[in-house]
Amino acid sequence: MLQTLIAAFVVVFLAELGDKSQILALAFATRYRAVNTLIGLAIATALMMTIAVGAGVLVGDRLNPRDLSLVAGMVFIGFAIWTLLEPSLADEAEEAARLTGGSRTRTVFGIAAAFVLAEFGDKTMLATIALAAKQPPVAVWIGAFTGMLVGDGLAVVLGDRLAQMVSPKAIRFGSAAAFGIIGLALLIEGLR
């Protein structure tokens, strides 16, 4: 269980580095109080990880372990390619930031809604589905929730400093390499 929790944390954390929701968190952090951004992020993350884990459990019940490993391996290799090819989403994040405003409650739920829209069908959600299909769902949920919250929380807490400390290109290549390695390991497992 602890291994699954750690694996889910690492996979989702890596997926969040340089991802559109992290850019969105950065944009919100420059406009709103950090606590409001973090609360909105936590609400969205809890909802998205619940949906992803539920979908993973449904998929896992329908595929045999060998096919599941092959599918998950292909998904992670797809994430590696996606990560390398994904364009900058700063303009999209800025537009979403402009759409929220007003009272604290409205701001928090506006931020949460923007994060849900940014994450729906994103690689972190798909990675969580793939993990939940093979591993204990509660451990996957806790690890994925924490990984996403920490990854995006870094953008909120560190704000602009994060972008200045680490090159977006280095983050993208490092994340792509990690996804590729995980994907190859799953493919090898499925082919045995």
The model carries a pTM of 0.68
Q: Read off the DSSP letter of residue 167.
A: -
CA pair distance 75, 187, nearest whole angstrom = 10
CA 101, 150, 124, 170 dihedral sign is positive
Per-residue pLDDT tens over the stretch 20-74: 777 778 777 767 778 888 999 999 999 999 999 998 888 877 777 677 677 777 8
- Kindly list the domain boundaries of the chain, sorted by start residue: 2-191
Task: Give the residue ranges of DSSP H helices in 86-136.
Answer: 90-99, 104-119, 123-134
Residue-wise pLDDT tens digits, 138-183: 999 999 999 999 988 888 887 656 556 666 677 667 767 766 787 7
Give the Cα separation of 157 and 160 in Å (integer). 9
pLDDT digits (tens, 9 = 90+) for 153-163: 888 887 656 55
Consecutive H or E run containing 136: none
Banded pLDDT at 98 (limits 50, 70, 90): low
